[in-house]
Amino acid sequence: MTTDCPDISIVAPAFNESDTIKTFHARLTAVLDALDLTSEIVFINDGSTDDTLDQILALKAVDPRIVLIDLSRNFGKEIALTAGLDHATGRATIPIDTDLQDPPELIPDLIAKWQQGFQVVNARRRSRQGESYIKKATAAQFYRIMQRFGQRYQLPKNVGDFRLIDRKALDAVNTVREHHRFMKGIFALVGFRHAYVDYDRDPRFGGTTSFNYWKLWNFSLEGITSFTTFPLRLFSYMGFLVALVSFVYGIIFLARVLAFGDPVSGFPTLFLTMTFLGGVQLIGLGVIGEYLGRVFNETKNRPLYFVNDIYAQSTETPKALSVSTPIRVAVSDKTYAGD
Ligand code: UDP
Ligand code: MG
């Protein structure tokens, strides 16, 4: 870390991005060079299995603005981003994907808004090119649930992790150390003066997205269960409803028995009721289990990530410092969420 802070920190997590990282750096530096501000680029190598690390080191040899945090393994994008945000020293910080889906050319617009006094400037996607209908539809549904059942703060629509955060807002974000990191929610949680800049999101430049529908589903669950108690409440209502129906049905039964005597029948009804209720109860238990799992993971209070090396800025030869980062070390929730 430098003693005098740069104006702008770029935070770029990279996992197997060897196809794009050079182009990303070229486009980014073209933008940064045109600015009248000082900057640093914090790359996070999130346990890449290709030569992403070597490529970043090669870039670092020619670009003294680069800081590289090499994590001990793959922790997933949210945690990688957190590691980067922890180490960003700028007066304003901009997290950006290295796969060029977030256009670096938008950075001056974000900065302009910041200079007008906004503390969080969100880049908002105007269109979702190259994304399937199902992805768009599921995304829309997800936002609807979050908007309806979230807390007092609202989750902005069509906003990813690409944004500008000023020092105060970032310090606030960095105090939130929960393990289930739904970053978009965390940014909404901390508040501060928000502004928006619209842009068109590009299809991936190279490589393949590590996202698939299963991951997207888990990501939505993450958002919903980390920021709302809507599923728990849903089951309370469902319980009331089922109880009410069975009460009414019970009265009808009683009336029939009193009026017409008791023909012993109704086995199918009994069978269906039992299996239906059994199913509903199991789902309810699953929902409670989901929240309980989160409580379990948070109470362990493990560090969020582990750092292998930090290649700090402005060392003459890129030399690995064996830095351990005390409070901010790691966990992936994968051990839990994966099974
Ligand atoms: N990424 C990461 N760790 C991971 C997966 C992704 O650091 O485990 C990085 C990746 O290199 C990219 C960004 O996070 O810079 C977004 O990843 P991706 O393009 O796969 O996600 P999507 O664009 O679908 O949100
Ligand atoms: Mg991407």
Work out the number of other CB atoms within 10 angstroms of the CB of residue 88.
Answer: 25
* Bridging pattern class, strands 194-201 and 39-45: unpaired
Cα separation of 212 and 16, whole Å?
Answer: 16
Which of 187, 181, 217 lies closest to 331, judged by CA?
A: 181
Give the atom of ligand 1 at the shortest distance from the alpha carbon of 17.
Answer: 11
- Residue-wise pLDDT for 170-220, tens only, equals 999 999 888 888 887 888 888 888 888 888 766 655 555 555 777 777 777
Name which residue sits closest to atom 18 of ligand 1, judged by CA. Answer: 209
* Bridging pattern class, strands 66-71 and 194-201: unpaired
Contacts of 265 by beta carbon, 8 Å cutoff, 6+ apart: none
Output DSSP code: residue 164: E
| Ligand nearest the Cα atom of residue 212 | 1
Ligand 1 pocket, residue 14 CB under 6 Å: yes
Query: Which of 85-99, 169-183, 222-236, 300-314 tops mean pLDDT?
Result: 85-99
Q: Name the residue with higher pLDDT: 52 or 155.
A: 52
The alpha carbon of 77 and the centre of ligand 1 are apart by a number of angstroms equal to 5
- Residue-wise pLDDT for 133-178, tens only, equals 777 777 777 777 766 655 556 677 777 888 999 999 999 999 988 8
| Ligand nearest the Cα atom of residue 17 | 1
Q: What is the mean pLDDT of residues 107-111?
A: 92
Name which residue sits closest to atom 2 of ligand 1, judged by CA. Answer: 77
State the pLDDT at residue 205.
55
* Bridging pattern class, strands 39-45 and 8-14: parallel
* Bridging pattern class, strands 307-311 and 66-71: antiparallel
Q: Name the residue with higher pLDDT: 313 or 51.
A: 51
The alpha carbon of 89 and the centre of ligand 1 are apart by a number of angstroms equal to 22
The alpha carbon of 338 and the centre of ligand 2 are apart by a number of angstroms equal to 21
State the pLDDT at residue 3.
55
| Ligand nearest the Cα atom of residue 98 | 1
- Residue-wise pLDDT for 1-48, tens only, equals 445 788 899 999 999 988 889 899 999 999 988 888 889 999 999 999
Which of 214, 226, 232 lies closest to 285, judged by CA?
A: 232
Which of 199, 220, 223 lies closest to 97, judged by CA?
A: 199
Q: Are 38 and 68 in contact (CB under 8 A)?
A: no
321 pLDDT higher than 60: no
CA-to-CA separations, 38 to 44, 90, 299, in angstroms, rounded: 20, 9, 40
Instruction: State whether the Cα torsion 197-199-203-204 is positive or negative.
Output: negative
CA-to-CA separations, 175 to 156, 172, 178, 203, 328, in angstroms, rounded: 21, 5, 9, 33, 10
What is the percent of the chain with per-residue pLDDT over 90, rounded to a whole number?
23
Give the atom of ligand 1 at the shortest distance from the alpha carbon of 75.
Answer: 8
264 pLDDT higher than 80: no
